[in-house]
Amino acid sequence: MKSVVISGSRKFKKEMREFAKKLKEKGVVVYEPNLHSGGKEWKALSESYKRFVLLGLTHDHFYKIKKADVVFVYNKGGYIGNSTTLEMGYSVACDKPIYALEEDTEEGCRNILFTGFVKTPTQLIKKLK
């Protein structure tokens, strides 16, 4: 079975986790973003340390993109934020196919990067074969 890396906004954390869980139940290797919010821990960090942490998180997800066969963008309502846009660009540079939940409602130029659209884990699994 092929592998999938999931990208998306932290505001869809619950939905992305559920989507990933269903893929894993079907035997798909899933790489998920680190969606820990940090709360008080984050606020206590200095600005220079926050930059260091963000750099590490960004490179960690880039590594997951490199390892995965396919990228899936969880973009409920068509929403795609800055980090996901960055990850999409990196995915294209790595020649990875990118599937999304929905079309981008804000920036049509991102839509041209998508290989296709899938609404369910089952539909994505069919694309992996």
The whole-number pLDDT of residue 93 equals 97
- 105 contacts: CB under 8 Å, gap ≥ 6: 77, 78, 79
Mean pLDDT of all residues in the chain? 92
Q: Which domains does the chain have, with CATH numbers?
A: 3-128 (3.40.50.450)
Q: How many CB atoms lie within 10 A of CB 86?
A: 14
pLDDT tens for each residue of 20-61: 999 999 999 999 998 877 778 878 888 998 898 888 889 999
pLDDT of residue 1 exceeding 80, the answer is: no
pLDDT of residue 94 exceeding 70, the answer is: yes
pTM higher than 0.75, yes or no? Answer: yes
| Rounded Cα distance, 78 and 76, in Å | 5
Bridge partner list, 99:
72, 116
Percent over 70 (pLDDT), the chain: 99
| Rounded Cα distance, 31 and 56, in Å | 16
Q: Are 65 and 87 within 8 A, CB to CB?
A: yes
Between these two residues, 4 and 105, which has the higher pLDDT value?
4
pLDDT band at 95 (very low <50, low <70, confident <90, very high): very high
> Which amino acid is residue 15, in one-letter code?
E
| Rounded Cα distance, 97 and 67, in Å | 13
